[in-house]
Amino acid sequence: MKEPLTSEEKQLLLLLGWFRRHYALYLGLSRERPATRKGILEFGRAWFGKRLPDLEPAFSGLQQKGLLRQKDEAFELTEAGSATFQRLDASETFYRYEYDNFFSLSEKSAAHALFCERVYGENLNQHGLADVQELRQLLAFVPIRNESSGLDLGCGNGRITAWLQRQTGARFLGVDISPEAIRRAHQASNPGLEFRVGNMNELSFSERFDFILSIDTLYYAASLKHTVEACLSHLRPGGAFACFFSQWISEEGEKPLLEGDNTALAQVFTGLGQPFEFQDISRQGHRHWRLKRDVLLEMRPAFEAEGSLALWHYRFREANRYAEWPEGHYARFIYRFRAK
């Protein structure tokens, strides 16, 4: 691609690239649904919220650049458009815009703070599954010494990182793809904490770490193997890589994936010839999704009263999808890897 893309064009490309993929499923839309201008805008608002810019100039811009074509009412990426989308989705990512929206809404919502308190035991503006009990379990499984330093990969707005810092006294670098999350993380001033915008698809640090934590973030890696390899290569000798990882399956034939030593993540460790250990926390995972859904149902009026219904919908459609997931089709683990 010779000509640079505008921010609007990038967002339109990312929306088109994801339109038919599983994100459409959350909204109850069919994969066959044509990508009309109205449909794309609806999809965009559901994920990027009010931050979605006026995409009108991007429709014509991408067509002029040969990345987009229109057939009747529907738009589709050209071959060059699909290739550009693939590159953009690894470098800038769809999630960056999704999480910019989430963190800009959630921090100022009193209803969301109460929701987090009820679901996670304390309001750390969580987005993943790990509640305070699971975080304590992590620290028991992977002890962190106060003179050590490490990385929190996918740290969001840093509230969980700051909590971990207070518990351990260690130094933490938090990294996240969302500039909005990191901007907010910077507001916490603590000499044991540092935050930077960074991408788990392109990890490269001059320093090495005593520990690297991934708290429900590896699902977003463009290549799980590539990101895990990058994490392991950034550990000091004796350092630990620890992650919370959930595995979903949709068909009976995939059941072996639910074994802790055979999940998509376990297979990556095994393929790299790296020994690992794990704890099974599947029951907690199941409970989490149902609790989240039930608390949200109860709290809908509180979100509505403060004008945060968009945030409620955003959280509810994920919670409901996984609360309804068949019981025998889900497993959750904490993994631990130690560098020699």
Ligand X SMILES: C[S@@+](CC[C@H](N)C(=O)[O-])C[C@H]1O[C@@H](n2cnc3c(N)ncnc32)[C@H](O)[C@@H]1O
> Which residues make up the interface to ligand X (CB under 6 A)?
93, 95, 99, 126-128, 130, 154, 156, 160, 176-178, 181, 199-201, 215-217, 220
Cβ 107 to ligand X, closest distance in Å?
A: 13
Backbone torsion region of residue 72, taken as left when φ is above 0, otherwise alpha when ψ lies between -120 and 50, otherwise beta: left
Sign (positive or negative) of CA dihedral 12, 157, 249, 230:
positive
Sequence-ordered list of residues with C-beta below 8 angstroms from that of 162, at least 6 positions apart, any chain: 124, 188, 190, 193
Between 102 and 337, name the residue whose CB sits nearer to ligand X.
102
Cβ 274 to ligand X, closest distance in Å?
A: 21
Cβ 103 to ligand X, closest distance in Å?
A: 7
b/e string for 85-115 if b means 16 or more Cβ within 10 A?
Answer: beebbeebbbbbbbbbbbbbbbbebebbeeb
Calculate the dihedral angle through the C-alpha atoms of 230, 176, 93, 223, rounding to the nearest 10 degrees.
20
At 58, list the tokens: 């991007």
Between 84 and 101, name the residue whose CB sits nearer to ligand X.
101
Cβ 235 to ligand X, closest distance in Å?
A: 18
Between 12 and 177, name the residue whose CB sits nearer to ligand X.
177
Between 185 and 249, name the residue whose CB sits nearer to ligand X.
185
Between 68 and 160, name the residue whose CB sits nearer to ligand X.
160
Between 171 and 288, name the residue whose CB sits nearer to ligand X.
288
Cβ 88 to ligand X, closest distance in Å?
A: 12
What is the Cα–Cα distance from 168 to 235, expressed in whole angstroms?
19
Task: Decide if 288 contacts 116 (C-beta within 8 A).
Answer: no
Instruction: Assign 3-state DSSP to the chain and report helix, strand, coil percentages, each to 5.
Output: 50, 15, 30
Cβ 138 to ligand X, closest distance in Å?
A: 11
Which residue minimizes CB distance to ligand X? 128
At 279, list the tokens: 């704890």
